[in-house]
Amino acid sequence: MNRGHSLRLPALSGLLLATAFSASVHAADPGGVLLQVRLPYAGPARLEAPALHSSAALVMDATNSSVLYARRSDVPMPIASITKLMTALVVMEAGQPLDETLSIAPEDRWPGRGGVSRLLSGTQLTRGALMHLALMASENRAAHALARNYPGGVEACVAAMNAKARELGMTGAHFVEPTGLSDENVASAEDLAKLVIAAATIPAIREYSTDSYYDVRVGRRVLRFRSTDSLTSKADWDIVVQKTGYISEAGRCLVMQAVFDDRAFVIVLLNSYGKRTRVADARRVRRWVESREQTARATPAPATT
């Protein structure tokens, strides 16, 4: 259960060391530990598919490295604010101090549609607080400020994001800016499963992305920011890492790693229609997975001779 910023980090080290599909994935935690695991592509399960309303989807059992369901999972498409998960990953890997105070600047304001923000120019917050807001509340100016203060600035940060995508085997991914407000930030569901698994190895990203609210002082006021993913506040969901996204070109998107019955599953949902559809699809996936597991347990083992 994830209620607020003071709650625990999931203790799932055994479940987090999974990657996706036939490519080797490398992920380094801030301490420099290199993870490399090769997972075979198992193909969709031969069961009735979940009735999803997302145009692209992927469901993977990270515990045994198998893909349970895939729909258009290899097609690159706009990913909106799922981008911020990659932004956070490269910022964390740069080793910059999370307690350093940064300022929101005029250049952090997005010139086009969708750049609404509660962080005014001149607002001062720590790097950790900005990352918290970018991951949990999808704060666009927070994400841009993180990239602007990356060594070498925004251009270097975006270059690092693309380099990290290549390192992770995200062959269909491409980034042009750090917030996801551009529809030129694209990736496939398969790409994003690899990103989710890499991000799940970073404790701060797990904590920040799964909080349901976070209070920050802006001037004389304390502002409460809430998660863009309503599932983070649900007691019956154990979410390891998550990120939502929306622009009109991408539709409603949701990626996560969650634990059901002590097993870790990666869920990627892209271009869901309707404001609540991505959450409804996540619930459908969970019911489908749990039903699948119950069926498997109830099926007697073949007789041996």
CATH at residue 254: 3.40.710.10
The answer to whether 141 and 131 are in contact (CB under 8 A) is no
What is the predicted pLDDT for the residue at 219?
82
Catalytic residue among 73, 84, 117, 182: 84
Question: In this model, does residue 276 exceed pLDDT 90?
Answer: no
Counting every residue, how long is the chain?
Answer: 305
Domain residues for the domain of 84 are: 13-26+36-298
Q: Tell me if 50 is assigned to some domain.
A: yes
Question: In this model, does residue 185 exceed pLDDT 60?
Answer: yes
Question: In this model, does residue 224 exceed pLDDT 70?
Answer: yes
Question: What mean pLDDT is predicted for residues 27-49?
Answer: 45
Type and span of the H or E element at 66: strand 66-71
With a pLDDT cut of 70, the percent of the chain lying above it is: 82
Question: In this model, does residue 302 exceed pLDDT 50?
Answer: yes
Question: In this model, does residue 235 exceed pLDDT 60?
Answer: yes
Q: Tell me if 31 is assigned to some domain.
A: no
pLDDT, tens digit, 9 for 90 and up, residues 94-122: 999 999 999 999 999 998 777 789 999 99
Question: In this model, does residue 65 exceed pLDDT 90?
Answer: no
Type and span of the H or E element at 23: none
Question: What mean pLDDT is predicted for residues 25-40?
Answer: 39
Q: Tell me if 149 is assigned to some domain.
A: yes
Confidence of residue 291 (pLDDT cuts 50, 70, 90): confident
> Domain count of the chain?
1
First to last CA, the chain: 47
Catalytic residue among 54, 73, 117, 138: 138
Confidence of residue 47 (pLDDT cuts 50, 70, 90): low
Q: Tell me if 7 is assigned to some domain.
A: no
Q: Tell me if 225 is assigned to some domain.
A: yes
Confidence of residue 35 (pLDDT cuts 50, 70, 90): very low
Q: Tell me if 265 is assigned to some domain.
A: yes
Question: In this model, does residue 78 exceed pLDDT 70?
Answer: yes
What is the predicted pLDDT for the residue at 50?
86
Is 138 noted as a catalytic residue in this protein? yes
Question: What mean pLDDT is predicted for residues 29-53?
Answer: 52
CA torsion angle 46 47 53 59 (round to 10)? -60
What is the predicted pLDDT for the residue at 305?
54
**What is the CA angle 189-191-195, rounded to 5?**
110
Confidence of residue 297 (pLDDT cuts 50, 70, 90): confident
Catalytic residue among 81, 188, 209, 212: 81
Question: In this model, does residue 7 exceed pLDDT 90?
Answer: no
Question: What mean pLDDT is predicted for residues 240-267?
Answer: 96
- What is the Cα–Cα distance from 139 to 149, expressed in whole angstroms? 16
The answer to whether 113 and 246 are in contact (CB under 8 A) is no
Q: Tell me if 2 is assigned to some domain.
A: no
Question: What mean pLDDT is predicted for residues 232-257?
Answer: 96
Question: In this model, does residue 70 exceed pLDDT 50?
Answer: yes
User: Which of 173, 231, 229, 235 is closest to 198 using CA atoms?
Assistant: 173
Range of weakest confidence among 38-52, 110-124, 250-264, 280-294? 38-52
- What is the Cα–Cα distance from 94 to 151, expressed in whole angstroms? 8
CA torsion angle 296 299 300 305 (round to 10)? -80
